[in-house]
């Protein structure tokens, strides 16, 4: 995903949103034994608020950890908690060795390691601070992931300012809170069941900056919509769905079915939204030029990553649109190589392939464009939008908010046929 009150009012607005819904879906460190760990600084959260597991860092060999107050640690299931005598606010290296975890000079054994801050926000991972606690999960003999485990509402307070501009309207912030909450819950009930985290901490899920980026606006928007999600189904049987959002739809959104092969449900259909997001600098873009040789390299890299036939594509000779949506947005491309071999990609597969391993090179802002043969290059013209264009358009939400729409109207327009309900 990309970028961008008063208690009586809050209770009244939540009352219109329906009933609760149940989902189907290198310093020396001493180690001191202790009893059950206490976290007296944990923020108060509403009863029933679920937790979320956020993948912060992947396949690390070493990370730096510091703490203002000594945290506690457990290694392996059922292990006793120990207090780590961290030097205050001094970075301590954490690594996974053949003998197990090494924190500073202390060896702590093998298995998953749980690091529990003494007070909320007292532990820093690298330069970042987050609510909750941290799981260090071995993923290879000497590599590990770092997962932040915290309550969903605290997570959202670090998502909103990472997804939206600080000057944007509070109603756009509240709409984003509802959609981001729904997305995170859905992922935890589906993809999260088969892995050691629920969501990525970046745009593969939704951007997350933790305590470092929280603002008064992000906290207020989260608190004003606590527990509210968007759901779809017959009355009394609503379920959450994967509530996508992207930066700018370019005037025409894309259905989740066309983009990702998701179920073709009413809230995730394509829409002609007109110029609502025209204030974005990416509403119109291009032309941009990318050499055919470079596109070939990227598509091969994408094919290798996906274990797809495109890994063996020959030098690309032409690219053409082969299917349009009912509103004229491309939803499929043909890529033909010099041997005459033609590969069919969905619009989002195509955008992902062209942007794979691009580094600092030119990238496609969206798949809503027209490829034109230009000798040794492909010229992408008539470009519109930024991101996949599915679900809620953030720039549309901002435009609507500044024109008097409230969060409920913004969300329900983005997801037709859905309704807002209370999850907890």
Q: What is the dihedral of CA 241, 1, 335, 271, to 10 degrees?
A: 60
Number of domains in the chain: 2
Mean pLDDT of 223-232: 98
Provide the terminal-to-terminal Cα distance of the chain, rounded to the nearest Å: 25
Digit-coded pLDDT (tens) for 354-393: 999 999 999 999 999 999 999 999 999 999 999 999 999 9
How large is the angle between the packed helices 347-355 and 292-306, nearest 10 degrees?
A: 110
* Domain annotation covers residue 276: yes
pLDDT of residue 45: 80
Q: Interior CA angle at 59 toward 53 and 61, to 5°?
A: 120
For residue 24, pLDDT beyond 50: no
Model confidence band, residue 30 (pLDDT cutoffs 50, 70, 90): very low
Mean pLDDT of all residues belonging to the chain: 91
d(CA 20, CA 32): 44
Q: Which of 99, 123, 152 is the last residue of a domain?
A: 152
Q: Which residue has the tokens 């939204």?
A: 273
d(CA 311, CA 212): 40
For residue 10, pLDDT beyond 80: no
* Domain annotation covers residue 270: yes
Model confidence band, residue 38 (pLDDT cutoffs 50, 70, 90): very low
For residue 12, pLDDT beyond 80: no
d(CA 298, CA 178): 36
Give yes or no: residues 263 and 373 share one domain: yes
Q: Which of 136, 152, 168 is the last residue of a domain?
A: 152
For residue 317, pLDDT beyond 70: yes
Q: Which domain holds residue 281?
A: 254-390
Mean pLDDT of 126-142: 96
Q: Among 420, 418, 402, 400, which residue's Cα sits nearest to residue 410? A: 400
Which neighbouring-strand residues pair with 392? Answer: 245
Contacts of 15 (CB under 8 A, 6+ apart): none
* Domain annotation covers residue 210: no
> Is the distance from CB of 392 to CB of 179 less than 8 angstroms?
yes
Q: Is 88 exposed, middle or buried (0-12, 13-18, 19+ CB in 10 A)?
A: exposed
* Domain annotation covers residue 311: yes
Give yes or no: residues 378 and 261 share one domain: yes
Mean pLDDT of 292-310: 98
Q: Which tokens hold the place of 365?
A: 């802002």
Give yes or no: residues 148 and 258 share one domain: no
DSSP category for residue 20: B
* Domain annotation covers residue 41: yes
* Domain annotation covers residue 203: no
Name the region of 126 (left: φ>0; alpha: ψ -120 to 50; beta: rest): left
* Domain annotation covers residue 118: yes
d(CA 411, CA 237): 19
Digit-coded pLDDT (tens) for 237-290: 999 999 999 999 999 999 999 999 999 999 999 999 999 999 999 999 999 999
Q: Which tokens hold the place of 201?
A: 């901490």
Model confidence band, residue 97 (pLDDT cutoffs 50, 70, 90): very high
* Domain annotation covers residue 135: yes
Name the strand (E) or helix (H) holding 188.
helix 170-189
Q: Which residue has the tokens 């040794």?
A: 376
Q: Which of 88, 117, 152 is the last residue of a domain?
A: 152
Q: Among 98, 232, 228, 210, which residue's Cα sits nearest to residue 154? A: 210
DSSP string, 195-227: SS-SEESSTTT----GGGT--HHHHHHHHHTTT
Q: Is 340 exposed, middle or buried (0-12, 13-18, 19+ CB in 10 A)?
A: exposed
């Amino acid at each position: 995903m990309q970028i961008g009150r008063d208690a009586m009012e809050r209770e009244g607005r939540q009352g219109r949103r329906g009933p609760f819904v149940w989902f189907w879906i290198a310093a020396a460190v001493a180690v001191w034994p202790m009893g059950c760990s206490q976290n007296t600084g944990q923020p108060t959260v509403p009863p029933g608020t679920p937790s979320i597991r956020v993948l912060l860092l992947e396949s690390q060999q070493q990370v730096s950890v510091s703490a203002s107050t000594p945290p506690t640690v457990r290694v392996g299931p059922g292990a006793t908690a120990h207090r780590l005598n961290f030097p205050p606010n001094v970075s301590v290296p954490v690594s996974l060795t053949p003998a197990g975890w090494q924190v500073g000079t202390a060896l702590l054994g093998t298995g998953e390691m749980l690091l529990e801050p003494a007070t909320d926000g007292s532990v820093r991972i690298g330069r970042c601070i987050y609510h909750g606690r941290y799981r260090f999960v071995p993923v290879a003999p000497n590599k590990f992931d770092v997962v932040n485990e915290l309550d969903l509402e605290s997570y959202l307070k670090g998502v909103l300012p990472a997804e939206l501009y600080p000057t944007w309207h509070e109603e756009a912030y509240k709409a984003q809170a509802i959609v981001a909450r729904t997305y995170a819950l859905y992922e935890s009930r589906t993809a999260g069941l088969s892995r050691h985290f629920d969501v990525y901490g970046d745009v593969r899920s939704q951007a997350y900056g933790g305590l470092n980026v929280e603002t008064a606006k992000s906290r207020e928007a989260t608190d004003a919509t606590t527990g509210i999600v968007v759901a779809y189904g017959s009355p009394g049987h609503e379920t959450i769905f994967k509530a996508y959002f992207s930066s700018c739809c370019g005037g025409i959104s894309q259905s989740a079915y066309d983009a990702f092969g998701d179920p073709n449900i009413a809230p995730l259909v394509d829409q002609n939204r007109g110029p609502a997001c025209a204030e974005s600098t990416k509403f119109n873009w291009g032309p941009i030029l990318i050499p055919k040789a470079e596109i070939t390299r990227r598509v091969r890299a994408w094919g290798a990553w996906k274990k797809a036939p495109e890994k063996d594509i020959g030098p690309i000779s032409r690219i053409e649109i082969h299917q349009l949506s009912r509103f004229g947005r491309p939803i499929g491309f043909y890529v033909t190589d010099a041997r005459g071999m033609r590969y069919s990609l969905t619009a989002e597969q195509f955008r992902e392939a062209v942007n794979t391993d691009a580094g600092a090179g030119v990238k496609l802002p969206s798949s809503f464009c027209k490829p034109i043969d230009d000798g040794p290059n492909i010229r992408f013209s008539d470009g519109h939008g930024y991101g996949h264009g599915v679900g809620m358009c953030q720039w549309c939400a901002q435009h609507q908010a500044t024109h008097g729409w409230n969060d409920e109207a913004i969300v329900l327009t983005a997801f037709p046929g859905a309704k807002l309900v209370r999850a907890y």
